[in-house]
Structure 1
């Protein structure tokens, strides 16, 4: 009898990186000759190459002309902020190093190295894994889903704290939804002096918005059936 593979409860580093890239609306670009920040100026191909529309008078456009063979090297940085106000709001940063080539009026960036910066450290990502990985199917919808959950369903977030051990809620003063992907929901537990992130995995991955709604209902049903206190019962009193 074969060994059953472990159930996946979180995206891989390459998938996380591709999700950051898919959801980002701005990027910072550094070359040997300039540093620029562009907003709503990039798109991403299936293999992870980045296509940029840059102003003709920008330093980046000039660098592409002056570089040897017209292919400047560059570092691109994409930030991954939490859509809900929390401490240390930047959840991760993606750094891509590589080179640009020209394609008409656009610059195409070809990554050669990818590093994901997270609170626990730096994760180097194999560039072939990065190219093959797909962004999470919820990546571009995550921001509005978490904002809606925090603004309109704070009671549901409190119910979900029943899935945590009461010791995890000790001295916690606020809980916010921090991240959402096809494998689960992450909550930020904020205390007066520190915070902790806890993950609530789905029973099965969600491939679209309808499925993530169903998975959330399963989590809530499990929380309501759990004989544990909610955050309100154990939070410190003013």
Structure 2
């Protein structure tokens, strides 16, 4: 028998590190002010967020002038679905802590980590967050999902054979919402609502080559499934 010690979904700390690894922008609230930055942050291996801000930033001035030079702050990151769809914000990540000056930039070591998804909020232990690694597919996910949606829509439709018929009732469109080493999540859009369905892999995928194999296994399972297809995808180019 194979190793089944892995879980079908990443832990809260890994999810939070994955959002942080893939995010390009963030909003920072500190000392009563709020600023938004794009392409200004990097992440250290221990989970510290390093923020490179302009010299005239109010945030930098607050860090210099604050008592002990350590203003409290909250950083907010949005996890946005790469494929265009309704309700594209998959999660929001909040990191709370204190900024310290390090080599001309600001560094924040999170003391509180909250990940809010539509299904509810998850609080990750700060030490577990610091020790966790992002999902190995996190930085490639956007490219992988857009390629799947744009070039392999037929494969997405075939995968709906693995979805319970009740979850497909009233579906007008099915799109790839998310992928991580443990599985693929599909967004089932209806006329006035939507729902998400997760298809777990039989084993975790630690790189794109393994992901390709896991997807082939899912497609093989879909080919063998007897449940009906989802309704035909509605075209958006004006065709019949």
Which TM-score band applies after superposition, normalised by the shorter structure? over 0.9
Verify the 8 A CA contact 2:6 2:204 in the aligned structure 1: no
Give the alignment's TM-score, normalised by structure 2. Answer: 0.93
| Uncovered stretches (5+) of structure 1, i.e. residues with no partner | none
Aligned length: 233
Matches within 5 A, 1:126-165: 126-165=125-164
Matches within 5 A, 1:117-132: 117-132=116-131
SS in 1 for 2:109: strand
Find the counterpart in structure 2 of residue 67 from structure 1.
66
User: What RMSD in Å do the two structures reach over aligned CA positions?
Assistant: 1.7
Cα distance change of structure 1 residues 156 and 5 upon mapping to structure 2, 3 Å threshold:
closer
Find the counterpart in structure 1 of residue 84 from structure 2.
85
Find the counterpart in structure 1 of residue 174 from structure 2.
175
Verify the 8 A CA contact 1:33 1:63 in the aligned structure 2: no
Cα distance change of structure 1 residues 203 and 147 upon mapping to structure 2, 3 Å threshold:
same
| Moved segments of 4+, more than 2 Å | 4-7, 232-235
Matches within 5 A, 1:1-238: 7-232=6-231
Q: Deviations over 1:113-155 (max 9, x none)?
A: 0100110221111111111111000000000100000010000
Cα distance change of structure 1 residues 51 and 234 upon mapping to structure 2, 3 Å threshold:
closer
Q: Deviations over 1:16-75 (max 9, x none)?
A: 000000000011000014211111111101111011111000111111111101111100
Shift of 1:5: 6.4
Verify the 8 A CA contact 2:174 2:233 in the aligned structure 1: no
Structure 1 stretch displaced more, 26-35 or 174-183: 26-35
Verify the 8 A CA contact 2:172 2:233 in the aligned structure 1: no
Cα distance change of structure 1 residues 23 and 234 upon mapping to structure 2, 3 Å threshold:
closer
SS in 2 for 1:63: helix
Cα distance change of structure 1 residues 215 and 104 upon mapping to structure 2, 3 Å threshold:
same
Work out the CA distance in 1 between the residues paired with 2:17 and 2:139.
11
Verify the 8 A CA contact 2:173 2:233 in the aligned structure 1: no
Verify the 8 A CA contact 1:156 1:220 in the aligned structure 2: yes
Verify the 8 A CA contact 2:17 2:129 in the aligned structure 1: yes
Verify the 8 A CA contact 1:79 1:94 in the aligned structure 2: yes
Verify the 8 A CA contact 1:75 1:95 in the aligned structure 2: yes
Verify the 8 A CA contact 1:158 1:232 in the aligned structure 2: no
Work out the CA distance in 2 between the residues paired with 1:231 and 1:33.
50
SS in 2 for 1:232: coil
